[in-house]
Amino acid sequence: MFSLFLFILVVVSGVIWAVDHFLYEKKRIETAKLNNRAPVEPVAVEYARFLFPVVLIVFVLRGFIAEPFRIPSGSMLPTLEIGDFILVSKFSYGVRLPVINKKIVELGTPQRGDVIVFRYPEDPSVDYIKRVIGVPGDKIAYDDKTVYINGKPQQQKIIGEYFVENHGMHSRRGEDLGTIQHDILINQRGRVENGVWVVPPGHYFVLGDNRDNSRDSRYWNFVPDENLVGKAFFIWMHWNGGPGFGRIGTVIK
């Protein structure tokens, strides 16, 4: 909705400025000279002239380069905490037209281990963030807290304990996906969502790093390519009741 608002603002301010510039500005200046006074712009034109370049730059940067998001839940702990403000690359998986999210240039595809932002398949008005576990053609299994990719269990190494507010103590582990190593949380007393999935073409299987407190592909299956928003790559601020300076500048991996 914010992208749509920016687009409308760009169009409206641009049209007002262009119509005035090409149809009325010259005549207004000439009339002012005849009357020996300074030309006065209409208020709408004055605002449009100021707003148009500003909102155009914001629209282009946000739509094609990088978009900010705030992490609202703990489903990606310990990688991302509630209150993290992140930047998402909008061109890592192709150039898409803002608002309609139509891909116009192929640049790349999500790789196993990437942390991605996407439009939630069950409600595309909501943005989700998870980690890619399976790419097209992969056979993914989840059994007894362990991920299997094409029949191979992904190794886990116990690091220590991690306290999750309202959920108690969890086991913090390093998980090796082959292409990347990252930390996950496991609640040994949490429910086990076992299953087997084969990722279809143009889709991705995603999980939250906080494995027992995440609604992900184990519940609603796959993320289609057309729902991709971008790749999360950087924490630029943290605020959750107060600043968290230690997290600023963290590269997401």
Lowest mean pLDDT among 97-111, 133-147, 215-229: 97-111
Tell me the C-alpha to C-alpha distance, in Å, between residue 94 and each of 34, 108, 125, 232.
55, 6, 21, 14
Domain boundaries, the chain: 2-64, 71-247
> 41 pLDDT band (50/70/90 cuts)?
confident
**DSSP assignment string, 62-79:** IIIIEEEEE--SSTTTTT
Query: pTM score, two decimals?
Result: 0.90
- Indicate the SS3 state at residue 81: coil
Bridging pattern class, strands 127-134 and 203-207: antiparallel
pLDDT at 219 > cutoff 90 = yes
pLDDT at 207 > cutoff 90 = yes
- CA nearest 140: which of 151, 127, 154? 151
CA atoms 168, 171, 177, 182: torsion sign: positive
Choose, from 90, 130, 145, 231, the residue flagged as catalytic: 130
Choose which CATH entry (3.40.50.720, 2.40.50.140, 2.10.109.10, 1.10.10.10) describes domain 71-247. 2.10.109.10
- Indicate the SS3 state at residue 233: strand
Q: Which residues contact 123 (CB under 8 A, 6 or more apart)?
A: none
Cα atoms in the 13 Å half-sphere on the side-chain side of 115 = 24
CA atoms 127, 128, 129, 130: torsion sign: negative
Choose, from 75, 89, 92, 217, the residue flagged as catalytic: 75
User: Which residue has tokens 């208020």?
Assistant: 43
The pLDDT > 70 percentage for the chain reads 100
**96-131 confidence digits (pLDDT tens):** 998 888 999 999 999 999 999 999 999 999 999 999
Angle between helices 2-19 and 43-60 (to 10 degrees): 130
Residue 77 is predicted with a pLDDT of 98
The mean pLDDT of the chain is 94
pLDDT at 237 > cutoff 80 = yes
Three-state SS string across 24-53, please?
HHHHHHHHHHHCCCCCCCCHHHHHHHHHHH
Among this protein's residues, is 90 annotated catalytic? no
Write the DSSP symbol of residue 214.
-
**Tokens, residue 239:** 């605020």
- CA nearest 232: which of 99, 110, 77? 110
Question: What mean pLDDT is predicted for residues 186-195?
Answer: 85
**73-98 confidence digits (pLDDT tens):** 999 999 999 999 999 999 999 999 98
- Within 10 angstroms of residue 3's Cβ, the number of other Cβ atoms is 15
Does the bond joining 78 to the residue before it have cis omega, within 30 degrees of 0? yes
Among this protein's residues, is 130 annotated catalytic? yes
CB-CB contact of 81 with 247 (8 Å): yes
